[in-house]
Amino acid sequence: MKKNREQWGSVRELPSGRFQARWKDKNNSHHTAPTTFKTLTDARLFLSRIRVGIEDGTWQKVDDGLQPLEPFAMRYLEAHKKNIKVTTLIRYETLLRLHVFPKFGTRPIKSIKSIDVSEWVNEMAESSKGGTVKGAHGILRMVMKEAMRSGIVDSDPCAYTRFPRKERFEPTIITHDEARALMEAMPERFYAFIGVLAYCGLRYGEAAALRRSKVDLNRLEICVDESVTNAGGKTVWGETKTYEKRIVTLPKFLGDALEVHMDKFTEDSPDSLVFTMPGGGWIQNNNFQKRHWNPVMKKLVADGVVRQRITPKDLRATCGSWVAASDGVLEAAKRLGHSNTATTTKHYARPIAGRDFKVANNLDQQFNAVGDESRAAS
């Protein structure tokens, strides 16, 4: 077994491959972390936070449930990891490491009060996006609820946190002319990829994970049951966000485009990815945007072909808005893979410019038609 000594503490590798941290307090009393760590770096980071806590007086002896938050939080993730998607688990670990532990990692769980959490949330809001703030608060609340269930604390200090108000992100909805111009401006191998995002409403990771065996050109259908993403620097393949499989029907033009695309760019194996980068491999979002999307979008806006710059995610919102306007919110939710229409209307579907005029015109025609029938009867 390996052992790495610090001036006041030590880290050793256990036969299991995990790492154990030990330290001495100011009274030279020895302590062992209540949980082990996945990597040597994690153990050393924990020790460094313990040392800071000892120096500034915020650390207390692990006694009567007054253990530091960090090891308990990691124990919580370990206990529940089989019920958490890999990408979500990586996100939780990142939020804890970057936002929760620097503030509360060495604090005894019982010492964390509601006012502490509120102050922390306001501090984060000054430099972080709203999703990060709520995500960090969310994982802390999960840990504190577990502490309640375990009898360590009597109440949840995260229960009544109020978040600073920020403007909600509004997707940009483009027209069919703009969508077509975007598709045609892209390199040929991405023409159908953009079409799938805009006209099938797939999430980016769902489109990137689409395989040859999931495309049925005879029935003009694609089966969506897999997703891919980059989490913590690692490529993670898994189920869709909602864990559900759905069938999406292709517009005829897109079925034709996919047939041409797969003949030219997709390998013959059933498991082959339909869409790949020129050098091979799946189309990673950041890489794709930097190399292809951003240059094309910049030119389209400069030439006045597209009103303003959009992101690939806007194409999903655009699809939801088109379908909601023409076929109703229920159909839009179904196409986007939402279990209820509330998500569709809150985050994706937006009124189409000019559509309300058509609605009013239809109501006018229906009213006049009733009047005509009444006059004819009399």
Domain range annotation of the chain = 3-149, 176-355
The answer to which of 17-21, 293-297, 348-352 has the lowest mean pLDDT is: 348-352
Per CATH, which fold does 3-149 belong to? DNA polymerase; domain 1 (1.10.150)
The span from the CA of 300 to the CA of 290, in Å, is 15
Question: What is residue 347's predicted lDDT score, i.e. its pLDDT?
Answer: 54
Check the CA dihedral 252-200-229-128 and report its sign: positive
Residue 375 pLDDT > 60: no
pLDDT tens, residue by residue, 161-216 = 998 876 666 788 899 999 999 999 999 999 999 999 999 999 999 999 999 999 99
Question: What is residue 153's predicted lDDT score, i.e. its pLDDT?
Answer: 83
**Which of the listed ranges 19-33, 56-70, 288-302 does the model predict with the highest average pLDDT?**
288-302
**With bands split at pLDDT 50, 70 and 90, how would you rate the model's confidence at 326?**
confident
Contact between 257 and 274 under an 8 Å Cβ cutoff? The reply is no
Burial of 241 (0-12, 13-18, 19+ CB in 10 A): middle
- Please give the residue that has the higher pLDDT: either 121 or 326: 121
Coil/strand/helix, residue 128: coil
Instruction: Give me the torsion for CA of 335, 338, 340, 345, rounded to 10°.
Output: -80
Instruction: Tell whether pTM > 0.85.
Output: no
**With bands split at pLDDT 50, 70 and 90, how would you rate the model's confidence at 57?**
confident
CATH code given to domain 176-355: 1.10.443.10
Question: What is residue 64's predicted lDDT score, i.e. its pLDDT?
Answer: 42
**With bands split at pLDDT 50, 70 and 90, how would you rate the model's confidence at 357?**
low
Question: What is residue 59's predicted lDDT score, i.e. its pLDDT?
Answer: 66
**Which residue type is seen at 242?**
T
- Residue 223 host element (H or E): strand 221-224
Residue 37's closest CA among 64, 18, 52? 18
Residue 341 pLDDT > 70: no
The number of beta carbons lying within 10 Å of the beta carbon of residue 228 is 22
Q: By percentage, how much of the chain surpasses pLDDT 90?
A: 47
